[in-house]
Structure 1
């Protein structure tokens, strides 16, 4: 190898490694971590009826999913609630925010703000 080629190859290798690290950090930077918000929202589909009707019984599968999300990524739940996907699905955020309480989830982030809504 010539004298100038070797430093160039070393620089390119370092650049590629650094770029890969930056891309991985960006992928995990959202409220839902590495899970795309669409997937997180889809996982909460058992909650649809309860998210639009305050009198509707919250299905146990919904409570399980919400409880797991609160435990692992509480900001993700808020992001899903305020997402355009929720609006498209006809979810009423003022009603949906009550689901953790209606599920009797003890470790819910009561008093935390989610947009203009407060977790009861």
Structure 2
């Protein structure tokens, strides 16, 4: 009987520890990253109107691109940098040195001027 109670206590303590550890893992998965709860791939896809301007510094930046970049900077300023440094950027043929100039080319007044984004600095 005493042995059964000991096993029951061990089981309950083990279950409690498992639940506590699981909660920590769930919180880590749900935690907000650079783009909040939006995956970087989704944030990058939202900037698809900027593709030509991110490859060519002389290309006109479409107004829809400017509005998307402006909204992203306002909602999650670190997200723009996370997108620029993501492997998706390289796969799409985007030149990060050109892409960081888009907020300036869009005349976004509240852009993070001078912010370091990897080895690039936002103008």
- TM-score band w.r.t. shorter chain: 0.7 to 0.9
For residues 80-99 of structure 1, the aligned pairs below 5 Å read 80-99=83-102
CA deviation after TM superposition for structure 1 residue 9, in Å: 3.1
- Normalising by structure 2, we get a TM-score of 0.83
Contact 1:27/1:33 (<8 A) preserved: no
- CA deviations on 1:34-79 (whole Å, 9 max, x unpaired) are 2111111111101001101112111111111111111121111111
Alignment-derived partner of residue 51 in structure 2: 48
TM-align CA RMSD = 1.9
- Normalising by structure 1, we get a TM-score of 0.85
Secondary structure (helix, strand or coil) at the match of 2:27 reads helix
For structure 2, the residue ranges without an aligned partner over 5 or more in a row are none
1:60 aligns with 2:50: no
1:3 aligns with 2:5: yes
CA distance in 1, matches of 2:67, 2:20: 40
Alignment-derived partner of residue 15 in structure 2: 12
In the alignment of these two chains, the number of paired residues is: 119
1:113 aligns with 2:122: no
CA deviation after TM superposition for structure 1 residue 11, in Å: 4.5
Q: Considering only CA atoms, is the larger Rg found in Structure 1 or Structure 2?
A: 2
Contact 1:32/1:40 (<8 A) preserved: yes
For structure 1, the residue ranges without an aligned partner over 5 or more in a row are none
- CA deviations on 1:10-32 (whole Å, 9 max, x unpaired) are 65145324422432234425322
